[in-house]
Structure formats: C-alpha cells, structure tokens
Amino acid sequence: MEIAVRLLISFGVGAAIGLEREYRSKAAGLRTMIMICLGSTIFTEISINLGAANPDRIAASIVSGVGFLGAGVIFKDGLTVTGITTATTIWISAALGTAVGAGEYFIAIVGSGVVLIVLTFLEKVQHLVERLHQSRNYKITFKNDHEFDVFLEQSLTKFSLGFKKRRDFREDNYLILIYEVFGKEKHLDQFNKLLKTDARVISFGY
C-alpha cells in the first residue's frame, strides 16, 4: 500500500508539472513528465529494496541518466538557444520523483509547488524584465558597403540602444556583422524595422 501511495503521489507531481508544460506546448509535456517522475520513483524504490549496502546506487544514476533526456530538448536556433527551461524541468521532475520514492513526501509536494510558481508566476516577471531590458546577438548580412557599420552604430545610438561589435567577416559576396545589442524591447523592435526596410540588408537574425 505504501508503494502504491508513493506511485500515486509521483503521478500527481508529474501530472501537475506536465500540465503546465503541455499548456505552453513545450516539447516535454504531460505524459513525458509523468513518465519521468514515475520512473524516478520506481528506480529509487528498487534501489532501496535491492541495495542493502549501497541503497543509493541506482538513484545516483538517475541524476546523470536524466541528463540525456534533457539534452534532447535543447536546440540552437540561429544565435539563440531554446529548451533550457524544459530541460531543467525534466531534471527537477526526476528529483521530485526520487524524493517520493525515498518517502520524502514533504520535499516532493512543496518542491512541486515551488516549481509551478517558478514556471507560471516568474514567467510574467521575466517578460516584464525583458520589456525593460534584454540582450540580443544580431547577425546582419548586407551588400558591400563600408559605411554601413557606421550607419548601423549611429542608428543604434539614436534608438537609445547599447551595443558591442563582436566581429565582422566576408561570406561569399556579402559582408556579415555580429553585434550584441541591448536595451528596451520597444527600441529593439524599432531597430528590427529599420533593418527590414534597408535595401542594403540581405538578411538578419538574432
């Protein structure tokens, strides 16, 4: 009965986190989080029952093993890396499942509550901070115009944006600039509009 209760609690913890991820259409959703949480609980139970001298030997492997799952949801999109929050959510779900398997219900329940607060409430705080200040790494491809970088930096200053020129190089018949640009979101959007309308810009991304 105690093992059944632990599995049900693990199911509930995984479902709570998974529903939040599913609602936001993330790569690891409801079923994935439930399976990770339940699997961690089962492995911990087996580890405790079989390892009299070393009861932590299987549970310790969960920490490294779940890293492979997390790595599968991290992607590089241009100059941006996505999926890190989902990967860490997989990692914490495994930790909560392990806590349930070890009989640490208080840690598991309170921990899952804190995770949900971080994923929901703090996301709003993150968006507020991003509106006030964010940093983007721009890759700008343009036609051969040696005065373009001067124009670019003047425009960034006009939009009240800070910037650092990382590097410039030639690719095929075009020149490419890499800039780190930081400031308010609305000013960054104004800079995007400028790049979209400038005939010298072949492509850009961040």
Give per-residue pLDDT as tens, 120-155.
888 888 888 888 999 999 999 998 777 888 899 999
**What single-letter DSSP state applies at residue 74?**
-
Query: Given 3.40.50.300, 1.10.490.10, 3.90.1170.50, 3.30.70.260, which CATH number is that of 133-205?
Result: 3.30.70.260
Q: What percent of the chain shows pLDDT beyond 70?
A: 94
Crossing angle, helix 185-197 and helix 105-132, to 10 degrees? 60
Per-residue model confidence as pLDDT tens digits over 142-201 = 987 778 888 999 999 999 999 999 888 888 788 899 999 999 999 999 999 999 999 889
pLDDT value of residue 66 = 84
- DSSP category for residue 52: S
Q: Token digits for 5?
A: 């209760």
Domain coordinates in residue numbering, the chain: 2-130, 133-205
Predicted confidence band at 78 (pLDDT cuts at 50, 70, 90)?
low
